Structure 1
Amino acid sequence: MNKKILQTLEFSKIIQAVANLAASDLGKEQVLTLAPSIDKEEVELWQDETEDGTKIIKLRGSMPIPKLQNVRPHLKRLDIGASLNGLEIAQIGKILRTTTELNRFFENLKESGIEMNRLYDLADNFVTTPTLNQLIRETVDEDGHILDDASPALKGIRTGIKRGENNVREKLDGIVRGKSAQYLSDAIITIRNDRYVIPVKQEYRSHFGGVVHDQSSTGQTLFVEPQSVVELNNRLRQLQIEERREVDRILAEISNEIAPYSKDILNNMFLLGKLDFIGAKASYAKNVAANRPLIHEDNEVKLLSARHPLLDPETVVANDILIGGENQAVIITGPNTGGKTIILKTLGLLQLMGQAGLQIPASSESQIGLFTEIFADIGDEQSIEQSLSTFSSHMTNIVSILDRMDNKSLIIFDELGAGTDPQEGAALAIAILDKVGAVGSYVMVTSHYPELKAYGYNRPQTINASMEFDVNTLSPTYRLLIGVPGRSNAFEISKRLGLSEEVIDTARQLIDGESQNLNEMISDLENRRKMAETEYLEVRHYVDEAEQLHMDLQTAVQQFYAEREELMKKAREKANSLVEETEETADQIIKDLRKKQIQGHVENVKEHELIDAKTQLSGLRQEEALAKNKVLKKAKAKQVMKPGDDVMVQSFGQKGVLMERADKNHWVVQMGMLKMKLKESDLILTEPEKEPNRKMIASVRSESNSHVSPQLDLRGERYENALAELDRYLDAALLANYPLVTIVHGKGTGAIRQGVTDALKRHPSIKEFHYAPPNQGGNGATIVEFKS
């Protein structure tokens, strides 16, 4: 992947944001080397690791990785036989302790049954060294200071040092607090050249004897070691030398203990850095509300609800960005400052992030491609040093892109062909797009040229798109509209700003017919898109209801079969129990018959007859004995069904109406919106519902009259919620016996207004409806009159 694209799309800012989330220098080093890959297996591996990291954040908060130092230089010194200092050993000890903690952390995750894609395999490569950990912990603290208990000799020496320091200080305290204090510049005890001294006025330098170790900058104060403490200081100094020798011996001993584990420590350090790196990627995904993208082998990119990660998440507008498949080229048109360039950068940057193993700020159903190269020509790259114009600079870059692109490249052009004569620029833009299309690269381009709108409309595998503009507010909405080219809004804007109709009409006559037809075509496409969007929302509402009903039916069927199987099992067990009891009785009867035959009491009873009787009795044991249940047969016989009857469908627990007989054993049943072919044995006739008492309705209407407002406000509601609220309100208004009501739906995009109009047309109790007068809201409200 070329490095220029990383700078153009500000990928380095993403990397820096991730690096700031790393807990250690080890993780930060790995983040800073992050770059997109063109190997699918590698990208999938990286995405697996990031997904594992996000799962840990959701379940455990984070991995227990503290700030760690790079100990590679320390280990290299060990390899050549050098000894480490206390701080270096402490840093290695921290690596080993963290290794143990992480190993225990992942064991706990595994025991909890939490599944991971890759991190368990990583954790299995840790090498724990409990003996070495304990040795370092008992010898060195976290700051690298050698502990007193590191050896008995060191403890004895340090005890002697403390005793010697106390003796020296007591001796000097006697001087500082005694009669000789008058000869001192200050009543303090300090240290010079590792020996305790006192500040003596220059003129009394010989009063205390001893050794002068230093003097003040003015020369008025001498730092003197009095003769009375010279011997004490000498003994203290000797102990300090012995302490240093013992510390060096201990450090050399520990260094020798660490040296055999240098490769294991280096391996652990790398793994800790890797886990910290993965944790930083996961933390960034959480911060930008990112999801893992799917990878499409044929480079069909679908970024759903995509957001640019460097923009303010509170104000950024999410867009669906689609390219690939049937749309090899996407041409975006629209006004300046409408967000076209941001769309290009979002596409390129999210693709780079996905190929680098980062999750992207888009919905979980989004998918990216796997491009070998991403090229971009964005912004003003005019070079003063090279004396190139804006057009020349862009064209130089475009020439380089055309020379290097292939059928697995993604190309982004901002204002293609701009900076020169419009006619020539448009021709160049079309020729460049033809060249890109011939190679098979995927391209997204922004432009103002109307010729490109026609190109996108007529050329195969090419689609128009635009940035929506709200003429009412004279401002862009930053919404990307796929399939609709941008159109000029100059006349509408000028009209709203007060330009006279005469001037506008004159301007309309001056533009050529082809441009006028193009704008009319775009306007028609916009209207059709809005109508399709409204119809889609309505159909989506019904589809959601149908899906929910289907799920309920599936659940009911499963419950029915489970309960039926359980009942059949119990019935078979009971039937078999009865048969077994009968067989026992029969056996006893046969025994009695044989006994009587032997004794001569019964004549003409043959043995084969006894065997036949036994066989017939055994035949009473049947698996489907309940199928001959006479009680159920009688109950079924009483049901004489005919079309129009109300029935209860037992398997679904729902009421329905018989429409027609499908065959001898089946009926077509209407249940709400669904018609189903059901077995007659599954249906039970029910009593039809009685019509409500009209007097009761009148009382309900009069009672409800005080609780229903004559006006319904649907502004701000979602489309589905608005239509449901409208339906409930119309029923309530009819019960309240209102002659007419007002529906306030606002103007907006017109989706809710159109939905209200369609609903009112279908309602059987509405006599007529029309928009409100201008002083009562105009076409932002509808007056509805009910039938009397």
Structure 2
Amino acid sequence: MNNKALKVLEFDKIKAEIAKYLITTRGKTLLKKLMPMSVESIVQRLIDQTKDGADIVRIKGEIPVRKLADLHDQANRLKKDGNLNGTELAAIGQVLQNTSELKEFFEDLKDNQVELRQLYDLNDDLINNPELTRRIARSLDDTGRVLDTASDDLKYIRSHINKLNDEIRQTMAQFTRGKNTKYLTEALVTLRDDRFVIPVKAEYKAKFGGVVHDQSASGQTFYIEPQAVVGMNNQLHEAKLSEKSEEIRILNNLSDMVRPEIDEIVKNNEVLAQFDLINAKAKYAKEIKATEPIISDNHVVDLEQAKHPLIDPDKVVANDIRLGDGYRTMLITGPNTGGKTITMKTLGLIQLMAQAGLFIPAREASEIAVFDEVFVDIGDEQSIEQNLSTFSSHMDNIINIIHKVSEHSLVLIDELGAGTDPQEGAAIAIAVLEKLATSKADIMATTHYPELKIFAYNTPETINASMEFDDKSLRPTYRLLIGIPGASNAFNIAARLGMDKSVVDRGQALMDGESQDLNNMIADLENRRKEFEQKNDQLKIQLSKNKDIQTDFEKKSDALDKSKNSEIQAAKVRANQIVAKAKKESEKIIDKLHKMEQDGVAIKEDQIISAKTNLKNLHQDEAIKKNKVLRRNKRRQALKVGDSVKTLTYDQIGTIVRKNKDNEYEVQLGILKMKFSADELEKVQNAEQEPEKKPTMVRRTKSTGLSSKLDLRGKRYEEAMTELDQYIDSALLAGYNQVTIVHGFGTGVIRKGVTNYLQRNPRVKSFGYAPASSGGSGATIVDL
């Protein structure tokens, strides 16, 4: 985009508002480079990033980016084999730490199934280096100070320094207490040349021996290091030299570790800066209550309730602005200070914002087009230096626009043809508009010339518009009216302000007939518009009443439906309560049977499985069962003794041997006999029957219909345990020796429940967590 458009439309002020939310140095650099893009795919990617940022701000508050420095100086020094100080290395450590935090942050968003368009991919550009991150964190604090944990030698040296400090202070204490205080100007211990000294009166400077390090300006006080601590101070000095040497060694080692990784770290810093900028865009969007712009498929601008983002939101008037659908040129007329220029700037600035990937201050689903350029000629740009008049400057800009405009450009011209003779100005304005129209560019222009109103009315793909004016209050309303040219209100205003009627009448009489006809036409259009708005308001009220009636009808219909099924539902609830109570009692009996088996009493497993299955089948779902067609087809099956059937619960083929009085079918499954309801059986057509004379041979085979893996993730505890119990039974019948139960990590409730169940089940030989490559502790492998 050309700099003139950015300057006139005040795009830099938008960037200044965004800058308030930036915290990284590189983020501020990226903001300075932020420009509207003219490639649709790039614009959409930038908008998607801001949309992701806005979703994260809504859900999490912000993207957790730290205050990070620019690392280019550090990188250049390392590449020249230089070493870094603690502050510089700490800045690198901050980048590494923030990289690790963001990787974890986005993994958490994935786990919570937060959908993002772009930022997961951007996060993938971050390269984590956990070992180097831990090493720097262990060695330096955020300010760059070397920590005791950086090395064992440093920890020992500092411990020795602390010990010497304590010993020196204890020794010095004898000189600041008791009878020795009379030789001192002050009873305190201080430092000179990094050594502990006491302030001794001049006449007693030889009292304690030792070394004189300084004296006061008056010469009355000498700062003396007593002989008793000279040796310890020497040891302390040597220990501090050792500390400094060890710190330098640690920093050099860290520099050597960072050196081969610096390019990746700098790239990480750039990605973190992008996250910082996206975060700032999203927060600014939230501040001005902006929405995601939709890129039009037909190169149409359709802004609903658009507001200028730099005007007080409590004062600015929102307008619907449309351009490109049915007309490519819009001519706005109306009185001065009526809002024409602001409306034009609103369109231009919103386009620049959207094409820079920002959200826009307009209603949701507002559409923007992607323009290759936005050209503007707004305001009086008279230049004394260049000796250009207002009209000359105006024409110079328009000539430049005509030379560069294309069919994908947006042209904004304020007061087209102004600054010269009205008749000539109107003529040149029409000629300019015709020339610009040949390029098929989208154009919005403001004017006072009545000739241009007629031109817009008679020219294809051109439309009149105006800023509404309230005749009663004699004030503009700042509302854009598309399709209606602005009327001249000079005579009305003059009359209402008290101008003599003869003067007003004479002025009107002096107007030519064409102008009078035009004003009459505009007045008629305005009256028709107001009449339409009144009728539209009435229709809206009637529509609202109709919707209320429809809503009331739907509520009553729903109430009838609920009433229809309420008795059935209540009966099922009562039945389920009875079954639940019976099931609870029966489980006690089954547990007792298992205990008897453990004590040596032989209990057949098929008896236990049959009992539990029958109890489960007693429960009725309270919700109406789905797939009524299938249920009707099943009921049509005429099951009888001797039929071969497939048990839907266990996916096994068996033979009906008996039907009892409860309408249950007893089915022979190999060596087992089990009871099923009709809904749990499916008749097998053309089943091969073995000759009756041949001895029955039972073989356990794996069912191709049963998976060797059961996934319990996302299920409620009771549902998961019931499904697990049924699955283990099915796996045993299918002849599986080993199955996998996937329970995930989560809160651990399902995993614990699975473990407890497997421990209780005597048919489970052994179980344990899956290998790391197969899910680790998120899955359990069971041997049956």
Aligned to 1:457: 457
SS of the equivalent of 2:176 reads helix
**Structure 1 residues 192 and 542: alpha-carbon distance in aligned structure 2, compared to 1, 3 A threshold:** same
**Structure 1 residues 568 and 415: alpha-carbon distance in aligned structure 2, compared to 1, 3 A threshold:** closer
**Structure 1 residues 329 and 201: alpha-carbon distance in aligned structure 2, compared to 1, 3 A threshold:** farther
Aligned to 1:523: 523
Report if aligned partners of 1:294, 1:366 keep a CA contact under 8 Å in 2.
Answer: yes
In 2: Cα distance, 1:548 partner to 1:162 partner: 82
Amino acid at match of 2:289: A
Counterparts of 1:321-720 in structure 2, within 5 Å, are 321-540=321-540, 580=638
Instruction: Give % identity.
Output: 46
Amino acid at match of 1:304: E
In 1: Cα distance, 2:392 partner to 2:100 partner: 60
Aligned to 2:73: 73
Aligned to 2:35: 35
In 2: Cα distance, 1:94 partner to 1:138 partner: 13
Aligned to 2:52: 52
* Superposition deviation, residue 481 in structure 1: 0.6
Amino acid at match of 1:158: R
Aligned to 2:738: none
In 1: Cα distance, 2:253 partner to 2:627 partner: 77
Report if aligned partners of 1:19, 1:32 keep a CA contact under 8 Å in 2.
Answer: no
SS of the equivalent of 1:69 reads coil
Amino acid at match of 1:498: G
**Structure 1 residues 571 and 352: alpha-carbon distance in aligned structure 2, compared to 1, 3 A threshold:** closer
* Superposition deviation, residue 439 in structure 1: 2.2
In 2: Cα distance, 1:299 partner to 1:22 partner: 33
Aligned to 2:318: 318
In 2: Cα distance, 1:137 partner to 1:405 partner: 56
**Structure 1 residues 146 and 290: alpha-carbon distance in aligned structure 2, compared to 1, 3 A threshold:** same
Report if aligned partners of 1:331, 1:446 keep a CA contact under 8 Å in 2.
Answer: yes
1:570-591 Cα offsets, whole Å, 9 max, x none, are: 699679858848x899xxxxxx
Aligned to 1:193: 193
Report if aligned partners of 1:140, 1:147 keep a CA contact under 8 Å in 2.
Answer: yes
* Superposition deviation, residue 448 in structure 1: 1.3
Report if aligned partners of 1:371, 1:409 keep a CA contact under 8 Å in 2.
Answer: yes
Given the alignment of the two structures, is residue 97 of structure 1 paired with residue 97 of structure 2, yes or no? yes
When normalised by structure 1's length, the TM-score is 0.69
**Structure 1 residues 215 and 450: alpha-carbon distance in aligned structure 2, compared to 1, 3 A threshold:** farther
Amino acid at match of 2:144: G
* Superposition deviation, residue 110 in structure 1: 0.9
1:605-640 Cα offsets, whole Å, 9 max, x none, are: xxxxxxxxxxxxxxxxxxxxxxxxxxxxxxxxxxxx
Report if aligned partners of 1:47, 1:292 keep a CA contact under 8 Å in 2.
Answer: yes
SS of the equivalent of 1:536 reads helix
Given the alignment of the two structures, is residue 285 of structure 1 paired with residue 285 of structure 2, yes or no? yes
**Structure 1 residues 580 and 400: alpha-carbon distance in aligned structure 2, compared to 1, 3 A threshold:** closer
* Superposition deviation, residue 416 in structure 1: 1.5
SS of the equivalent of 1:371 reads coil
Question: More deviation in 21-30 or 287-296?
Answer: 21-30
SS of the equivalent of 2:44 reads helix
* Superposition deviation, residue 505 in structure 1: 2.2
**Structure 1 residues 405 and 226: alpha-carbon distance in aligned structure 2, compared to 1, 3 A threshold:** same
* Superposition deviation, residue 118 in structure 1: 0.8
* Superposition deviation, residue 567 in structure 1: 10
Aligned to 1:627: none
**Structure 1 residues 185 and 488: alpha-carbon distance in aligned structure 2, compared to 1, 3 A threshold:** farther
Aligned to 2:742: none
**Structure 1 residues 413 and 150: alpha-carbon distance in aligned structure 2, compared to 1, 3 A threshold:** same
In 2: Cα distance, 1:217 partner to 1:480 partner: 81
In 1: Cα distance, 2:518 partner to 2:217 partner: 90
Amino acid at match of 2:133: N
When normalised by structure 2's length, the TM-score is 0.69
Aligned-residue CA RMSD in angstroms?
3.2
1:10-48 Cα offsets, whole Å, 9 max, x none, are: 101111211221232232222221101111111111111
**Structure 1 residues 388 and 188: alpha-carbon distance in aligned structure 2, compared to 1, 3 A threshold:** farther
* Superposition deviation, residue 354 in structure 1: 0.8
1:363-420 Cα offsets, whole Å, 9 max, x none, are: 1221111111111111121222223222222222222222222222111111112222
In 1: Cα distance, 2:372 partner to 2:513 partner: 44
Report if aligned partners of 1:16, 1:32 keep a CA contact under 8 Å in 2.
Answer: no
Aligned to 1:256: 256
Amino acid at match of 1:306: A
Residue-pair matches, total: 583
1:530-573 Cα offsets, whole Å, 9 max, x none, are: 22223334445566777899999999999999x99x89986996
Aligned to 1:22: 22
SS of the equivalent of 1:175 reads coil
In 2: Cα distance, 1:297 partner to 1:125 partner: 31
SS of the equivalent of 1:392 reads helix
In 2: Cα distance, 1:568 partner to 1:223 partner: 97
In 2: Cα distance, 1:512 partner to 1:224 partner: 107
**Structure 1 residues 124 and 501: alpha-carbon distance in aligned structure 2, compared to 1, 3 A threshold:** same
Amino acid at match of 1:10: E
Given the alignment of the two structures, is residue 114 of structure 1 paired with residue 114 of structure 2, yes or no? yes
1:424-451 Cα offsets, whole Å, 9 max, x none, are: 2222211211111122222111111111
* Superposition deviation, residue 162 in structure 1: 1.3
1:671-694 Cα offsets, whole Å, 9 max, x none, are: xxxxxxxxxxxxxxxxxxxxxxxx
* Superposition deviation, residue 346 in structure 1: 0.6
**Structure 1 residues 536 and 219: alpha-carbon distance in aligned structure 2, compared to 1, 3 A threshold:** farther
SS of the equivalent of 2:66 reads coil
Structure 2 gap segments, 5+ residues each: 566-623, 643-784
* Superposition deviation, residue 163 in structure 1: 1.9
**Structure 1 residues 133 and 507: alpha-carbon distance in aligned structure 2, compared to 1, 3 A threshold:** same
SS of the equivalent of 2:330 reads strand
**Structure 1 residues 524 and 27: alpha-carbon distance in aligned structure 2, compared to 1, 3 A threshold:** same
SS of the equivalent of 2:304 reads strand
**Structure 1 residues 244 and 571: alpha-carbon distance in aligned structure 2, compared to 1, 3 A threshold:** closer
